[in-house]
Chains A and B, each alone.
Chain A
Amino acid sequence: MSEPAAGPGHSLLAAERISKSFGEVQVLFSVDFDVRPGEVHALMGENGAGKSTLVKILSGFERPSAGRILIDGQPVTLPQNGAAEALGIVLIHQEFNLADHLTVAESLFLGREIGRFGVLDRKTMRAETRRVLDELGARIDENALISSLAVADKQMVEIAKAISRRARIIFMDEPTAVLSREETALLFKQVRRLKAQGVSFVFVSHKLDEVMEITDRVTVLRDGQWVKTAPTSDLDGEAIAQLMVGRELSSLYPAKDEPDVDENVVLSVKGLTTAYVKDVSFELRKGEVLGFSGLIGSGRTELMEAVAGLRPRLSGEVLLHGAPLAPLAFREANGRGLAYMTKDRKGKGLLLDEGMTANLTLQSIDRHVRHHYLDPASEARAMARAKRRFDIRVRDDKVRAGRMSGGNQQKLLLAKIMETEPDVIIIDEPTRGIDVGTKQQIYHFIAALAREGRSIIVISSEMPEVIGLCTRVAVMREGELVGLLEGEEVSEQVIMRYAAGLKRREAAA
């Protein structure tokens, strides 16, 4: 009824008490957020804190379950699917929204081409593109194909596109994740210029140093809840890290068993280098659970896929039980007891159209061959065993894998990997997208496997997970192993400092 008064400092865009649920899972709890004209606002939080969801809601790609959004103090319902661009709200996706086969100018005018009588006016469009690019100080040829551009240039094209559509607020989801240091500096220069003209930015970022450098205010989310909004100058990296994690470890995790120092080294990686991973060395002992932490895109998956032989390596050596493992010899590695469990269970882990049994025995089908043909009874016995051992709960045994819940899928994938009876197991994101009860079960499976004398590497973006499970934690950043933490050091604050680049291991260590 009463006109909402323009908030303090006049908000361009404000979100009030925004909540969001996907099905039964609530990911945002009554979050407040606002953007002022000409400010750069950092949105921070751990993976799964709800940053991306909030950004999507504020740019019209998702609808909030509750709460309201105001533009210039007026409550609005944002139009869906990018139509909010008309209101000056632009989201630049992590994977850019550019068609490879178009030129820069064509991309800029995609969907709102200038033309006369249906014939494109290329000259005007090229000239306008040039003008915008010049204004941005970007040295990009307006006739170049998108596919020929460097990542940083693509980002610049996205920004140019936003500018040419008179964007007032630009949301950027981890804009620097794919940029080099120089490219980042260039991007920040442009951001400052646009900011001076009154354009606002919202940065989702994990990089504390960059946040300190470029942003005016910081909002921290944790577990879907608003924690704090403060001027960046009032905070330091330590304080932000504290706000992001500040949570206690619960009994979610089983007791840790530290392996003896003189246990055999089962896996040894020396100087491994791939297109992205730089010179990584580490050792894994029998019965150990070794964690790999780091931000998304820090090269953990690439490293482990190279170790397992799924990805080419440029140099370096992998020793499995003391014997060298050739590059790209995934099948051989499998046969020698090394298993890799992908984080992409739907894309790379399970055949979604097939039943549970076909999935379970896919990797170990040789065990069910009698006189050259498959023995369905033997497969059925394996399935029954796996269901008991990993507590896979389905109402219908013939259910397709694609219709199972995420938790049961994950258990089935773990069971599938374990059917090969490996003694070195690399698990990439063991609990992505599954409920907390199943998470706990999977943690206990992992601990039990370690007690059986198997050695496990856990890659996880959820810090409590590596801390709760692992006796040692390796931290990666931009393709390098920047820290190898043990004992007291294994804490969220220390990991975060390494992962965000505030600290790195001394060369000698």
Chain B
Amino acid sequence: MAADTEMSGTVRARRSWRDVDLRAVAPFVALALLILIGALVNPNFIGITNLANVATRAAFIALIAVGATFVISSGDLDLSVGSMVAFVASLMILFMNSGAIADPGMMIAAAILLALVVGSLCGLANGLITTVGRIEPFIATLGTMGIYRGLTTWLSQGGAITLRSPEQQALYRPAYFGSILGVPVPILVVFLVTAIAAFVLYRTRYGRHVTAVGSNRDVARYSGIAVDRVRIAAFVIQGVCVAIAVMLYVPRLGSTSATTGILWELQAITAVVVGGTALKGGAGRVWGTICGAFILELVGNIMLLSNFISEYLIGAIQGTIIIIAMLVQRSLARKA
């Protein structure tokens, strides 16, 4: 059967596959293939526990990558997200340690609110620097990447910032380790955030404007779209997504340091690109992004469970994946 599709595929592909957008489907096919490979490598892999574990660990990157999907769709790039995670988390823990609010429940709620505000402000800063300051997003966020990281190092004085109150820890713990109806909370959060993001991107005026701005800024401008506002909002959404990831990160370890979130920006961008969103902007694929984040985590998991590749090569493998993803994207684009 495989030979059959290969033989006729090239000729018939254009007609019969016309309605199927290969670029949208490709990441899900890759995910299915990976799961198949995983199952062959190690029977434990396919177990619910292992897969749920993988999904939970992918949650941080997935959430950040959802925000990155907006930024990348609108034609920009945010390299500062990894540092932003560390910065927002540090401020959040410092605030919780300050004892400003006595009731631990209220304190956690206030801390979450603080994280969301700080996250949006960090995103706003990125957006204003790129649009009003007219600096290439690559450079602008490279700068803020250093700033957020440096502030974190300064806040922690080079060490770690740890949540002190055991009461707060106990109360906050379920936000990462808990589960509702048997589904781990992080997975629920990821799906909820993704569903909202997909709705915003595909079913609101703003989402349409993001696509327009990302695929051609001139067309957007000549269509009366406030291009800069759309771009800034995408950066703010990215900041909010980072804050949501932090909300799950803090209860997990209860601690941050200067090395928190290092290279997460690359993983987030990889997830977005593997998910089928073009790096040059345009159509964003939120569900594809989630799929990309799972793929990255799955590859690591499979490497751990198998014995023929050292897990120290994970970074190299992930690097390879992004290159392959780009090649696949381009070859599919050429056919389309």
Contacts and interface: CB of A to CB of B under 8 A. Distances in A.
Given A331-B224, A358-B211, A398-B19, A348 B218 contact: yes
A374 B208 contact: yes
Interface in A261-275: none
B205 interface: yes
Contacts of A348: 216, 218-219, 221-222
A344 B36 CA distance: 49
A174 to B, nearest CB: 25
Interface residues of A, number: 28
Contacts, number: 65
14 contacts: A331-B226, A347-B219, A348-B222, A349-B219, A349-B222, A352-B216, A353-B282, A358-B208, A362-B208, A362-B219, A363-B224, A372-B204, A374-B203, A374-B205
Interface residues of B, number: 24
- In this complex, the member of B19, B222, B226 whose beta carbon has the largest number of chain A beta carbons within 10 angstroms is B222
Given A354-B211, A398-B19, A369 B205 contact: yes
- In this complex, the member of A340, A344, A352, A363 whose beta carbon has the largest number of chain B beta carbons within 10 angstroms is A363
Contacts of B19: 398
B216 to A, nearest CB: 6
A366 to B, nearest CB: 7
Contacts of B222: 310, 340, 342, 348-349
A396 B18 contact: yes
A334 interface: yes
A365 B221 contact: no
Interface of A: 310, 330-331, 334, 340, 342, 344, 347-354, 358, 361-363, 365-366, 369, 372-374, 396, 398, 416
Contacts of A330: 221, 224
A339 to B, nearest CB: 9
A464 to B, nearest CB: 27
Contacts of A342: 222
Interface of B: 18-19, 199, 203-205, 207-209, 211-212, 215-216, 218-226, 282-283
Contacts of B218: 344, 347-348
Contact of A347 (B18, B204, B216, B283): B216
Given A330-B221, A331-B226, A363-B223, 10 more contacts: A334-B224, A348-B216, A348-B219, A351-B211, A354-B211, A358-B208, A362-B208, A362-B220, A366-B205, A374-B204
B176 to A, nearest CB: 32
A369 to B, nearest CB: 6
Looking at chain A's contact residues, is the secondary structure mostly helix, strand, loop, or mixed? mixed
Nearest to A366: B205
Contacts of A373: 199, 203-204
Contacts of B225: 362
A352 B281 CA distance: 13
A48 to B, nearest CB: 24
A310 B219 contact: no
A358 B208 CA distance: 8
Contacts of A351: 211-212, 215-216, 219
B192 to A, nearest CB: 17
Contacts of B205: 365-366, 369, 374
A353 B204 contact: no
Contacts of B215: 351-354
A501 to B, nearest CB: 31
B241 to A, nearest CB: 20
A351 B223 CA distance: 11
A361 B205 CA distance: 10
Contacts of B224: 330-331, 334, 363
Contacts of B282: 353
Contacts of A374: 203-205, 207-208
B209 to A, nearest CB: 8
A365 B204 CA distance: 9
Nearest to A399: B18
A366 B221 CA distance: 16
A414 to B, nearest CB: 14
A376 B57 CA distance: 36
Nearest to B223: A363
A340 B219 CA distance: 12
Contacts of B221: 310, 330, 348
A330 B225 CA distance: 9
A365 B216 contact: no
Nearest to B226: A331
Given A310-B221, A331-B226, A340-B222, A362 B204 contact: no
Contacts of B226: 331
A352 B333 CA distance: 13
Contacts of A363: 223-224
Contacts of A372: 204
Nearest to B21: A398
Given A310-B222, A330-B224, A353-B283, A362 B212 contact: yes
A398 B226 CA distance: 27
Q: Which 9 A-B pairs have the closest CB atoms?
A: A363-B223, A348-B218, A334-B224, A348-B222, A331-B224, A373-B203, A362-B223, A365-B205, A351-B215
B282 to A, nearest CB: 6
A374 B18 CA distance: 26
A350 B18 contact: no
Contacts of A344: 218
A347 B221 CA distance: 11
A342 B216 CA distance: 14
B329 to A, nearest CB: 13
A340 B223 CA distance: 9
A169 B237 CA distance: 59
Contacts of B208: 358, 361-362, 365, 374
B88 to A, nearest CB: 28
A289 to B, nearest CB: 22
Contacts of A396: 18
B201 to A, nearest CB: 11
A348 B227 CA distance: 13
Nearest to B19: A398
Nearest to A350: B219
A416 to B, nearest CB: 8
A271 B294 CA distance: 61
A398 to B, nearest CB: 7
